[in-house]
Amino acid sequence: MQKGASSKKVRPRQTQPMPGIEEKMKPHPKDLKAQPTEKLAGKVALITGGDSGIGRAVALLFALNGADIAIAYLPGEQRDAEVVRNAVENEFGRRCLLLPGDIRKERFCEKIVADTVKKLGKLDILVNNAATQTEQKSLTDITTAQLKETFETNIFSMFWVTKAALGVMKKGASIINTTSVTAYRGSGSLIDYSSTKGAILSFTRALSQNLAQKGIRVNAVAPGPIWTPLIAGSFKGKKVASFGSDVPMGRAGQPADVAPAYLFLASEDGAYFTGQVLHPNGGEIVNG
């Protein structure tokens, strides 16, 4: 929430243990509404955090547009992951590989890439999306354990998965990283989280320069307030109730509002984009 901005209740107060389960959210994030195309026909996409929230919406939109999907997620999110697999396979007729585990472990990051190629044949699109956040009133309240968990989940895993992916990705591949509006304006109660999102921004820009001549594009999406399980799992009930009401558009975004940005960057529509960031954030102006 922006400092000094007014807020109003737009949903019931609620909170969940992290990582948050989409099926328990009130209201549920709105379903994707889009027409199928062949923009990603024959492509294979690996999405971390693909069981819920933005990752789930991206997985479904990619499948709708012809891609086979692999999603990495925590074992405690199995139910959400199965809902995604059911939709990908039964509604869209694509393959969906479930990869439960902890992306804070480098070996698991390597394994999900290897398993994707082994089971689905190749890897064309990598979406580094998994993240965690924990509110704290002060920097002095952030323990070393929390700091490590946030950085290992949000940025270390991104290095590890991408490093493994580069061993199998070919010219024309696309890497899309999820950063955040907090990378640009910060957040006083999410200092460690904001720091990782700033690191992701720099990682995206630097890696895009490194890979441009190899024909692999690297971009990012910086969402504003989006109604996902991460919100229900990390904020207190009162803040959850008004979450997103302070942006110019007056509401939190839905994951389905954000997913088209990933589709654009993954497809040939975004063929001349690398090192860039898209900003679905409800009207907040960001620079830099």
For residue 101, which of 143, 50, 174 has the smallest C-alpha distance? 50
Q: pLDDT at residue 279 above 60? A: yes
Look at residue 35 in the predicted model and tell me its pLDDT. Answer: 76
* 3-state secondary structure (DSSP) of residue 44: strand
Look at residue 94 in the predicted model and tell me its pLDDT. Answer: 98
Helix extents (H) in 87-190? 106-120, 144-151, 157-165, 182-185
Mean pLDDT of the chain: 89
For residue 232, name the pLDDT band (cuts at 50, 70, 90): low
Q: pLDDT at residue 235 above 60? A: no
Average pLDDT over residues 207-236: 85
Find the catalytic residue in 184, 193, 262, 272. Answer: 193
Look at residue 4 in the predicted model and tell me its pLDDT. Answer: 44
On the 0-12 / 13-18 / 19+ scale of CB atoms within 10 A, 146 is: middle
Look at residue 210 in the predicted model and tell me its pLDDT. Answer: 98
Q: How far is CA 278 from CA 57, 134, 179, in A?
A: 16, 25, 10
pLDDT in tens, 78-123: 999 999 999 999 999 999 999 999 999 999 999 999 999 999 999 9
Q: Annotated catalytic, 193?
A: yes
Look at residue 13 in the predicted model and tell me its pLDDT. Answer: 62
DSSP H or E segment with residue 193: helix 191-211
CATH code for the structural domain at 40-278? 3.40.50.720
User: 257 near 58, Cβ under 8 Å?
Assistant: no
Domain ranges within the chain, ordered by starting residue: 40-278
Average pLDDT over residues 279-285: 90
pTM of the complete model: 0.86
Sign of the dihedral defined by the CA atoms of residues 257, 262, 267, 273, in that order:
positive
What contacts 91, CB < 8 A, 6 or more positions away?
A: none
Look at residue 250 in the predicted model and tell me its pLDDT. Answer: 80
pLDDT in tens, 167-203: 999 999 999 999 999 999 999 999 999 999 999 999 9
Q: How far apart are CA 242 and CA 10, in angstroms?
A: 5
